[in-house]
Structure 1
Amino acid sequence: MTDVIQPPVHLHAVVDALAANPALPPELVRRLFSYRRGRGSVAKRGDLTDDMTAEIIAIDDPWFTHSLALNRGLPQAVRMTLAGHPDPAVRAAVVVGTEGSPRELFERLLDDPDLQVRVSLA
């Protein structure tokens, strides 16, 4: 018998549920940034602060940043930042939730060198 306690098999589901919980305190939201399975859900939270979005972008994980770009509650300044991201999948994901976005965002994506970004915009 070993003293090491194995994580429960449903741990990923628990972390995803925590990430979606609107009552989760900001310090615990930040802790989920380092947990790989919680990245997608936590990046789509509607209550991310500017510091949190900057932290997610700084982590520079393509999947995590892509999930952030899909967040419909992002401030327009963050959308403009992500529209200049080097990963075309992230730039294409910025198109989600662009309703009410400034003209500059559309112009930037319309002239994107990657075809998939332009197709997503269309």
Structure 2
Amino acid sequence: MSSLNHLRVLIVGGSSGIGFAVAEAAVAADAHVTIASRSEDKLVTAAQQLGPGTETAVLDTADEAALESFFASHDVFDHVVVSAAQTPTGPLRKLALHDAKSAMESKFWGAYRAARAAGIAEGAR
């Protein structure tokens, strides 16, 4: 594992699933990690598992104003990962069009809003 040399990494959706796995890898690589989620309870549990120094933020990618406020009130990040999404699943022919649209709203537009608002360090990847 290469070192992230104390770079600032934000993982939106970092309290579970793929986001949590990314957070674990970032902590192991010496990053300064902030995990964000809509659920404060999940954040507390995840931060305890990740260890001391992990910061948390209650954040919803559907709330553009909250995203902008969050990034305006924090130093820039070197890396931002967005794995957060609310995506109903099921066979295509049985999934209501409304549910498919809400999945796109969450997965695509949520990540778009976060990327648009994010403060990312110059030269960061």
The TM tier, using the shorter chain, reads under 0.3
TM-score of the superposition, structure 1-length normalised? 0.27
Larger radius of gyration: 1
Q: Which has the higher contact order (CA 8 A, sep 6+)?
A: 2
Name whichever structure is richer in strand by fraction: 2
Name whichever structure is richer in helix by fraction: 1
TM-score of the superposition, structure 2-length normalised? 0.27
